[in-house]
Structure 1
Amino acid sequence: MKPVTTIGVFAFALAAVFTGGAVAGRALEPRIEPLGEPVTDHRSGSGDDHGASLGAGDDATTDPQGSSGVGAPRDVPGGVMVSAAGYRLQLAAETVPASPAATMSFTILRQDGSALQDFTPAHGKELHLIVVRRDLGGYQHLHPVRDSAGTWSSPVNLSVPGAYRVFADFVPAAGDPVTLGADLAVPGDYRPIPLAPATATATVGDYTVRLTGRLAPGQDSPVTLSVLRNGTPVSDLEPYLGAYGHMVALRAGDLAYLHVHPAGHPGDGNTLPGPRVDFAATVPSTGTYRLYFDFKHRGVVRTAEFTVPAGATSTRGASPTPAATPTPGTTGHTAASHAH
């Protein structure tokens, strides 16, 4: 065979090999389907499930003007996204001057950019607003007021400069519970405070709250808070948000938001008004969590805070380390703001 002919045959054979390889490669590589409509979560909504994390079928949309968004991972907890399930948390201002009497305004937007106006009350409120610094300090549980245009407003204590996280916990009238989160900056001399060590005891004024239980990732974990005043068990706790206690858990690191449901409620024939308040908590992963327990006694709502590891041994018998006593207004639970 002549040299020219030999080269031509070799080139043809080589081209055939590459063409076949490309076809085989397309047959073996993962197939990426085009994005379709957001998946709808068909779980039954309940007013008692506010703050539930995103689960199977929940989606995230980052464009409030109505374009389809990318579906959220199935195991994403609530509060880590500014937009989810077709709704977006829009703060009126992302930077607010430091002030003990600041005003926070925001709107819950639909995909078409309009303000959400129809809500299903959960625990007696249409929307629960949680404000906390990124170092997990300065926790405030607030109940803002909505105007006719759909804008929510609430007084808030932002006296300490720093990076804050704002959570809007609500139930749309035509949907399931949603928790959205957005960042808020308060300029000034920001000095992050290290997270308090794990403790089974917190002190709030004259009150001592003891925590027993263990957080097991992925499991329904019973947690009990026992309230004492000047060493005496409190047996006349007052109902607050439909229960004798309310708890929020935030995961250190990303501030994933978990609402912890109480076991029982006033008037059910079984639940006593203290000193024990029982909860069932389900945390998604190992790690460290900050628990905020709200309880009402003698007309005032107070907050006891705990640092709790998940996946470690029970906090029962842990070395008691009293939590810092909140100053008036720090938790947002002053008599003036929470006279129920």
Structure 2
Amino acid sequence: MSFTTTRSPLRLAAAAAGTTAVLALTLAACGGSEDSAGSSMPGMDHGSHASHSSRSSRSPSSSHATGESGGESGMPGMDHGSMPGAAHGDAAVRDGLADAADGYRLTSGTRKLPASEAGRYAFRITGPDGKPVTAFAPDQAKRMHFYAIRSDLTGFQHVHPVMAADGTWTADLAALTPGSWRMFASFAPDSGAGKGRDYVLSRTVTVPGDAHKAPLPTPATRTEVDGYTVTVKGEPMAGMAHPLTVSITRQGKPVTDLQPYLDTYAHLTAFHEGDQAFAHLHPETAVRGTRGGGPDLSFHAELPEPGKWRLFLQFRTDGKLHTAAVTLRVNG
């Protein structure tokens, strides 16, 4: 399935103010740079910086065209999608688990990435006319958000790729552990039939090697990362909008010096256990000029399925990006 939503006036206003964010129901403990995040938890990979070449103020996402040989290529007419027969339309636009929706398609020639060394994932987004899309609307200061998530949710990276003039995006990734990984591209076309809608499309890649599946940590309301304690408050119900509050403390004291990150004070993304379904959790705490943020951050959570979700929260202090991960149980 693929994921797309129509931007409401509130969402559009939030995007214009740069306050729209992605929330993942797992907080992965890790530090990183502004454009990437990994985790200090065992079995978690650290994110990499977005490509240092051709960076623009509108962050691009990696897009690749796919060839029959499986090699990377920017040429049209390549193999589409990692999910045969990916459907289009509202029946298949949930969770970001398909490579196509409403005529938009994520194409890539990359089916494998190396283990234990940095990798590069290139891709394209093609539109209903089959041509590469090059006009994207900024969402939280970036035109493209790109995520790599391991099948057991123990590996997570969030990077902001760069786009070439031909619509090819390239995402630089830190070393990945062996196993199956899903690559998500989150974007909003700035023209055409999909203008004003948010899309999340994905494909899978394999990292060769001896893969060991790790059990998902048990559901909890708090986690530790880099000396900070992150507490999640709220009891979301599947398929229903629900408020969620994240509080950050350090040595028992409220943290009030959070720095803006992607035009808000925290970025939250969630992935569902088993199928790696993706969910956006949008921030509702506005940046307050030059004042620091915290300790409490509010989010608008809509998690479509019951079960365990892994939540990844990213926030910045003293110029350093921290990534916290926690498992949240969502009731049906």
State the TM-score, normalizing by the size of structure 2. 0.71
> Which amino acid in 2 is paired with 1:307?
T
Partner Cα distance (2:94, 2:175) in 1:
26
Does 1:78 pair with 2:95? yes
> Could you tell me how far 1:99 is from its partner in structure 2?
3.4
Contact 1:220 1:281 in 2 (8 A): yes
1:289 touches 1:309 (CA, 8 Å); kept in 2?
yes
Say if 2:134 is the partner of 1:117.
yes
Give yes or no for contact 2:21–2:268 (8 Å, CA) kept in 1. Answer: no
Cα deviations by residue, 1:211-259 (Å, 9 ceiling, x for unpaired): 1111112222111111122332210101111111111111112211111
Tell me the CA shift for residue 50 of structure 1.
7.2
Determine whether 1:198 maps to 2:219.
yes
Q: Distance in 2 between matches of 1:157 and 1:198?
A: 27
Matches within 5 A, 1:82-231: 82-174=99-191, 175=195, 176-231=197-252
Retained in 2: the 8 A contact 1:291–1:306?
yes
CA distance in 1, matches of 2:300, 2:7: 23
Aligned partner of residue 100 in structure 1, secondary structure: coil
Does 2:325 correspond to 1:305?
yes
CA RMSD of aligned residues (A): 2.7
Tell me what 1:239 maps to.
260
In the alignment, which of 289, 300, 320 is matched to residue 280 of structure 1?
Answer: 300
Q: Quick one: which amino acid aligns to residue 102 of structure 1?
A: G
Answer with 98-107 or 159-168: which moved more.
98-107
- What amino acid does structure 1 have at the position aligned with 2:246? L
- State which structure, 1 or 2, has the greater radius of gyration over its C-alpha atoms: 1
1:43 CA drift (Å): 6.3
Distance change >3 Å, CA 87–CA 219, structure 1 → 2: same
C-alpha change, 1:71 and 1:49, in structure 2 (3 Å) is: farther
Asked if 1 retains the 8 angstrom alpha-carbon contact of 2:257 and 2:317, the reply is yes
Query: Residue 50 of structure 1 contacts residue 170 of structure 1 at CA under 8 Å; is this kept in 2?
Result: no
More helix by share: 1
- The answer to whether the Cα contact below 8 Å between 2:182 and 2:203 also exists between their aligned partners in 1 is yes
Establish whether residue 248 from structure 1 lines up as the match of residue 269 from structure 2. Answer: yes
Structure showing greater relative contact order (alpha-carbon pairs closer than 8 Å, 6 or more residues apart): 2
1:287 and 1:69, CA in 2 relative to 1: closer, same or farther beyond 3 A?
A: closer
Name the CA distance, whole Å, in 1 between partners of 2:325 and 2:153.
Answer: 10
SS of residue in 1 equivalent to 2:94: coil
Paired residue secondary structure (1:209): strand
CA distance in 1, matches of 2:87, 2:157: 31
Amino acid at match of 1:220: A
Q: Distance in 2 between matches of 1:130 and 1:244?
A: 19
More off after superposition, 180-189 vs 83-92: 83-92
TM-score (norm 1): 0.70
Q: 8 Å contact 1:246–1:293 — kept in the other structure?
A: yes
CA distance in 1, matches of 2:287, 2:115: 39
Q: What amino acid sits opposite 1:286 in the alignment?
A: P
- Cα shift readout 1:269-318 (whole Å, capped 9, x = no counterpart): 9x971011111101112211111111111111111111111117xxxxxx
